[in-house]
Amino acid sequence: MADRNGLSYYSFDKICTLLRICLEEYLVARNSLIRKDLLAFDGHLFQVLSLPEKPVIEPTKPLKTEDEMEEADPATVHQIIKSALGVDHG
C-alpha cells in the first residue's frame, strides 16, 4: 500500500476497507507502529520507515479485559487477522 519511497496515499477508510478493520483497530495499529518508529505520519501521508537499530520495546502490562485481549494478546490478534482474511482456523 505504498510507493517505492514508502509513502502511502491511501485514506484511512480505504485502509480499513482493504484490511477489513474498524476505525478503532486502525488507530490502535497506526499509533503502535508510530510509537515503535516503524511509521511516520504527518496527518495526510504515511511513510514506512527503516527498521531502527534497536527495537522499540514497550513495557507490558497484564491484560485484564476482553477488549485488551483483542488489542494486545498475540494469539487473539492472530486469530482475528486469520478470521478477517478468511483463513481456516485449523
CATH code for position 19: 1.10.10.10
Give the per-residue pLDDT at 89. Answer: 53
Q: Taking a C-beta distance cutoff of 8 angstroms, is the pair 61, 51 a contact?
A: no
Could you list the residue range(s) of the whole structural domain that residue 14 is in?
A: 1-49
Give the per-residue pLDDT at 17. Answer: 92
Residue 55 placed within a domain: no
Q: pLDDT below 70 — which residues of the chain?
A: 1, 88-90
> Using CB atoms within 10 A of its CB, is residue 60 exposed (0-12), middle (13-18) or buried (19+)?
exposed
Q: Are residues 31 and 70 in the same domain?
A: no
Give the per-residue pLDDT at 3. Answer: 80
What pLDDT digit, counting tens, does each position of 74-89 carry? 777 777 777 777 776 5
Give the per-residue pLDDT at 1. Answer: 61
Q: Are residues 2 and 45 in the same domain?
A: yes
